[in-house]
Amino acid sequence: MNHTVITSAQAPAAIGPYSQAIKNGNVLYTSGMLPIDAEGQLQEGIIAQTQQILTNLQNVLSEAGFSLEDVVKTSVFMTNLDHFEQMNDVYSHYFGNHHPARTTVQVAMLPRSAEIEIELVAIKRQPNQ
């Protein structure tokens, strides 16, 4: 397999033995992104946390030569689905009219006591497609 580790200095460093993202051909797989800025500060509140995660993911996508338009699937993990509408409003702002497939689930706990974590898969279209 021909895969490349992708790391963006504009997103938080991995807090364990994993990569921010792996690129294999025209496909990019990100690890779950927490709402931490590049300096390691956890954001507070579901709106700020969702914004930070999506900004981090944009930075990782950009580092790999992708954009949000290339995203085909996201997985959202939340500790409280009562905040779904707030998360969805922020998410909609980032993705606009582009609507990748999405799974959203409630989980008991996330690292660093975050309220939300998001991972994604992106596919870069070939020039002749």
Cβ-based burial of 19 (10 A; exposed 0-12, middle 13-18, buried ≥19): middle
pLDDT digits (tens, 9 = 90+) for 18-29: 999 999 999 999
The CATH label, of 3.50.50.60, 3.30.1330.40, 2.40.30.70, 3.30.70.260, for the domain at 3-123 is 3.30.1330.40
pLDDT digits (tens, 9 = 90+) for 71-121: 999 999 999 999 999 999 999 999 999 999 999 999 999 999 999 999 999
In this predicted structure, the answer to whether residue 127 has a pLDDT above a threshold of 70 is no
CB 31 within 8 A of CB 110: no
Q: Domain extents for the chain?
A: 3-123
Tell me what pLDDT residue 14 has: 87
Q: How many CA atoms lie within 13 A of 36 on its CB side?
A: 19
Instruction: For the chain, list the strands marked E by DSSP.
Output: 3-6, 21-24, 27-30, 71-78, 101-106, 116-123
In this predicted structure, the answer to whether residue 1 has a pLDDT above a threshold of 60 is yes
pLDDT digits (tens, 9 = 90+) for 34-65: 999 999 999 999 999 999 999 999 999 999 99
- For residue 125, name the pLDDT band (cuts at 50, 70, 90): confident
| Of 128 and 8, more confident | 8
